[in-house]
Structures are given as C-alpha cells and as structure tokens.
Amino acid sequence: MPSKPAVPVATDHVGSATPRSAPSAPTMFIDGAWTAAADGATFDATNPATGRVIGHIAAGGRADAARAIDAASRAAGAWGRTSPFDRAATLERVAATIEARRDDLARALTEDQGKPLHAEAYGEVEELILYFRMAAAEAPRIEGMLPPSVDPSKRVLVYRVPKGVVGVITPWNWPYTMPAELIAPALAAGNAVVWNPARLTSQCAVALAACIAEGGLPPGVFNLVTGPGDEVGDEIAADPRVAAIGFIGSTRTGHRIAERAAGKELLLEMGGNGPLVILDDADVEAAVRATITACFLNAGQSCTAGERVLVDRSIHDRYLERLVETVRGEVRLGDPLDGATTMGPLNNERTAAKTEHQVAEAIERGATLHAGGQRASNLGSPLFFQPTILDRVTESMEIAREETFGPVVPITAIDGADEALAIIDGSPYGLLTAVFTSDLARGLRFAESARAGWVNINEGTNYWESHLPFGGRAGSQSGLGRVGGRFSIERLTELKTIVVNLA
C-alpha cells in the first residue's frame, strides 16, 4: 500500500466573507500528493450561517485540470487491471476512514454548507459511508458473458471493462453523497477519477478527498481539482482523454457539459420540480409529515424536493390547516450547530435571492401566503429564509414552473388524479414525484402513468435508496442515465468482446 499523503489543514479565520488573496493552499490532490494551484491562486470558504471565512481553498484552473487528467491517464490502465477484490478492500478502507472521522466531517458539512449538525449533517455522513461500502460490495460482482458463436470451433468472451478516466462534476447541496454516488462506483469499476466539486462547498470536498486519499489508492487514480466549474469542469468535460462524465447539478450547466463532452459516456443528474400529489383518499396526517421532509429537508435545496404540492380540493382545507399548524410548531430555523435546529440557512445569496423573488412574484400574481415568505433578519446572516407556505399557486407563476431550491410549500388545489397527471406531463422535468392515496392499486396506476424516473407511493419526494436506479425520465430536462448500486457501475464500464478460434 502506498504511504499515506499528508492531509492539508484548513485554516479557521473569522472575518469578511469577501474573497481575498491568501497563502497558497495545498488543498488539491493530484497524482497522489496535496498541491496548490499552478498560479498559487486561492478563494475563501465561508460559513453561510455566519458569513465568516473558515478556510482558503486552491483556485485551480485549466492547467491544474490538465495535470490531473495526465495523472489519471497514466494510472487508469494499471488500476483497471487490479483484482476487483483488491479494489473492494480499498473502498472499505475509505469507508472505515470516513466512519472514524464522522464527527469532523459532519462539523465541516455544517460549517461549509449550512445543514443542521444533528438533524441532517450526521445523516449525510452515514449515507456517505454506505455509498463506499456499497461500491465495495459491487466491485467483485462485475460480470461478463459467454454467449454462443455461430461457429462451433469458436468461443466468445464478453468482458465488462473500465471506461478509463472518469470526470466527476458535483453540486453544493449534498457535498458528500452526490460525489460519492459517482466516485465510489467509478473506482470500484476500475476507473481513474478527476473530481471538480462545487466551489461553494470545496471545504467539504477537501475533507472527503483526504479520506479517499488515505484508502491507499495508487497515485493518479483519484484526483481532486478545486476551482471554478467554467474552467476546471469545462476542461475535464472537453479533454479527449476523459472517457466518461458524471455530472450532478443544474439543467443549464448539464446541457453545457453535454455539448463539451460530445461523444463521451454521460451520466447527467439534473434539475427537478417533482410534485407531491395528495389524492382525495389520502391519509392527511401522513401527507403533512411527508410535506415537511419534502419541502424543508436541506432547506428545500434538493433536486427531489417537493417543488409542487397538488392537493385534491375535497381535502385541501383540512390539509392546509394541519400543515400550517405543524410547520409553526415543528420547523425550527436557527443556528445549525444548535441541537434544537431542524432547518439551517440557504447556502448562498443566489439561491436566497431566487427564492425571495419567486415567493414575491407568486404573491403578486395571486398566491396566498400562510407562513414565512421572507428572510429571517435576526439570525446573523442574510441567508436564513423562513419556512414558507403558499396556497393558490397557478401555472402562471415561476414557482410552479421552475426549480426554487428554497424552503417553500407551493400548494395547488386539483380535481382528481387526471389533473395531477396532466400537470406532471406538462412539466419539462421528470425526475421524481410522489402520490398519497389509501388505494394501493390506484397509487400504482398513477405511478405507472406519471412521467418521472422515480415515483413514491405514500412516501415523500425526498425519499430514495442509494442502491436503486435513480435518474430522470427520457426526453425530460432532468438528466440522462441512472446512478445507484450496480446501475452506476454498468454506466461506468463497457462491454468488450473477444472471440477465440479453437481450431
């Protein structure tokens, strides 16, 4: 096993969140070593709950991305030829390192992203461990085929082999689990990885990369390049030596990556506007509980958030009354380090401004505000947004048509399942939806008809399991391909046919 590389120590500065120059930060991991950006540039990592600077991150550029791709290209062949059992053991070591550092990783997540420490951050770390253990379990299960030949003197062998170099570009809303659902299976399948994380949560990325680095991977097999996506991510997507791109993020960025990566294998998990549908025979209490998780988990910053809530008119008033009561009594906005907090700040000003605009625009167009509706002014940062409930939301409103990525419940009254399906069909998205009904057959028929890659029955939109195939419906703006367990590995490998002439 290679010796463990030194782990960079992030500084903890208190001060302005305005980017400024700082000493070169060796927070990128390239070819088995921690390194600074080629030009020495850095940017500040800031805590969204306080605005304080918590560290300096290397601001990599195209030259750094090319350097990482060079290293990955050199390492990919040998790593792909290693025993899958050895690759599994390496990923188990990574999982064990993450588990040993769970407290530090959870704290880093809270300080860098804003998730409440006890309510959410520890849960994401636990899921991160699961992703690496699951990939370790899948590595020895990669199988080929022995199909027959038309010629009895020949034998046909079909192997599943690594793609080579896989580029991974990930978002800030789930800075541990979203990278893991691509990086872990890519490594398990025998690929080398070059990872460009979201700039806004690069401190988390460095913490995760340190755990991966200590797993004993050969130099060049795993590489982290922090820096702006329009430079680093673009270079990774366009480089011909990169055989596959795994991307999670916005639809707009995903389309740009698809253009730059034309001809490569693409795994794109993009935007969603998944409706939570509550039919006339639903358990209202269960539906309210699911709404809380669907709309306020991670302060609504999830591609599977309940961006629309479609409630049958016959139970609308009862549902709304109970929802308002529950939100006021149970959703606690505050300091994410406080054990009583259930919802922290939004991660960045752009998301906060978008949420603020969409709520105001909906009210101006006739929506009724029942809770929240604005930023919380007394919590030490302008990024705290009150848990918000809007009723009488219509298709003319931006909040009904686009991703909000904020803590908002946008409610629309409907007249039955057919109207709900028509609204789903009219959306450009097709990632995940959910339906509540006491009639299982009715729910299953609804799920089969809904234009979405995943449908939950009597469960909220933010429920998924990491080993199951997850992704957007074909033809939608929600992505391409499936991640999850063996389904990720299938996309990050390819079939190779060998014919043997026994004569």
Active site residues: 269, 303
**How remote is the C-alpha of 47 from its chain's centroid?**
20
Say how many Å lie between the first and final Cα of the chain, rounded.
43
Pairwise CA distance, residues 479 & 469, whole Å: 13
| Per-residue tokens: 339 | 């054990």
Pairwise CA distance, residues 222 & 29, whole Å: 8
Q: Say which amino acid occupies 442.
A: R
Pairwise CA distance, residues 19 & 9, whole Å: 19
User: For residues 194 and 164, is the Cβ–Cβ distance under 8 A?
Assistant: no
103 contacts: CB under 8 Å, gap ≥ 6: none
Provide φ and ψ at 241, rounded to 5°. -80, -15
Kind plus residue range of the DSSP H or E element containing 223? strand 222-224
User: For residues 236 and 167, is the Cβ–Cβ distance under 8 A?
Assistant: yes
Q: Look up residue 343 and give its DSSP letter.
A: B
Q: Three-state DSSP class for 494?
A: strand
Q: What share of the chain is helix, strand, coil (3-state, %, to 5)?
A: 40, 20, 40
With b for 16 or more beta-carbon neighbours within 10 A and e for fewer, the 109-121 pattern comes to bbbbbbbbbbbbb
Query: DSSP letters of 286-309?
Result: HHHHHHHHHHHGGGG-STTS--EE
Q: Say which amino acid occupies 455.
A: V
Vertex 480 angle, CA 475 and 482, to 5°: 125
